[in-house]
């Protein structure tokens, strides 16, 4: 959802099928940005991402992976470089195919007590949650270039500004 939102807000061309996924790219504020959605099962998503990264000669430290995180409350985000997969099968696949030297943008989806985790994360969002997501996606789209321009230095500002937005929804 977020990658589609970014493509639209950045006025990038339509996605094309490539590298076992959907890819589009463009240049904005002098930054060449590849948006990629693997179309494999999540636990195999690292292979197509690694193929793309190797083909375009992108260093893994310039890769930002957006992923859900059931251990974070809905709408909360964390950004960090490297680290463990935290049990996330998609990240395990990326780690084994690309290494761990990439940025992780963890987006909280929360979880229900005593529910099947796989069923929960694959379920649809409520209308209320979709309203919140649209505000969150709008903030991310407006600030993604600032974040990517120097992620190490800008992530604190990004997260503080994001918290003020999150507190209004």
Give residue-wise pLDDT tens across range 44-96. 999 999 999 999 999 999 999 999 998 888 888 888 899 999 889 999 999 99
pLDDT of residue 110: 86
pLDDT at 38 over 80: yes
Alpha carbons 140 and 131: distance in angstroms, whole number: 15
Tens of pLDDT, residue by residue over 143-161, are 888 888 887 777 888 888 8
Q: What is the pLDDT of residues 110-145, one digit of tens each?
A: 887 777 877 877 889 899 989 988 988 998 898 888
- For residue 48, what pLDDT is reported? 98
Residue 99 zone, left/alpha/beta (φ > 0; ψ -120 to 50; rest): left
Cβ 61 vs Cβ 101: under 8 Å: yes
Residue 169 has pLDDT above 70, yes or no: no
Within 10 angstroms of residue 78's Cβ, the number of other Cβ atoms is 15
Question: Rounded to whole angstroms, how far apart are CA atoms 104 and 83?
Answer: 9
Which numeric CATH code is attached to 1-167?
Answer: 3.40.50.1470
Half-sphere CA count of 156, side-chain side, radius 13 A: 2
Give the mean model confidence (pLDDT) for residues 26-47: 94
| Residues 114, 116, 117: CA angle, nearest 5 degrees | 105
Q: How confident is the model at residue 36 (pLDDT cuts 50, 70, 90)?
A: very high
Rg, Å, the chain Cα set: 16
- Residue scoring higher pLDDT (165 or 1): 1
Residues in the chain: 169
């Amino acid at each position: 959802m977020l990658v589609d939102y970014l493509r639209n807000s950045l006025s990038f061309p339509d996605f094309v099928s490539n590298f076992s996924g959907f890819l589009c790219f463009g240049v904005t504020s002098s930054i060449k940005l590849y948006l990629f959605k693997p179309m494999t099962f999540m636990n195999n998503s690292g292979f197509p991402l690694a193929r793309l990264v190797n083909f375009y000669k992108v260093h893994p430290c310039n890769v930002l992976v957006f992923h859900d995180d059931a251990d974070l409350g809905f709408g909360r985000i964390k950004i960090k470089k490297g680290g463990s997969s935290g049990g996330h099968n998609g990240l395990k696949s990326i780690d084994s195919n690309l290494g761990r030297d990439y940025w992780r943008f963890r987006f909280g989806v929360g979880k229900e007590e005593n529910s099947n985790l796989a069923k929960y994360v694959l379920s649809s969002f409520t209308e209320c949650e979709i309203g919140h997501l649209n505000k969150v996606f709008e903030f991310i789209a407006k600030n993604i270039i600032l974040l990517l321009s120097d992620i190490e230095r800008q992530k604190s500002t990004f997260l503080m500004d994001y918290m003020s937005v999150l507190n209004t929804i």
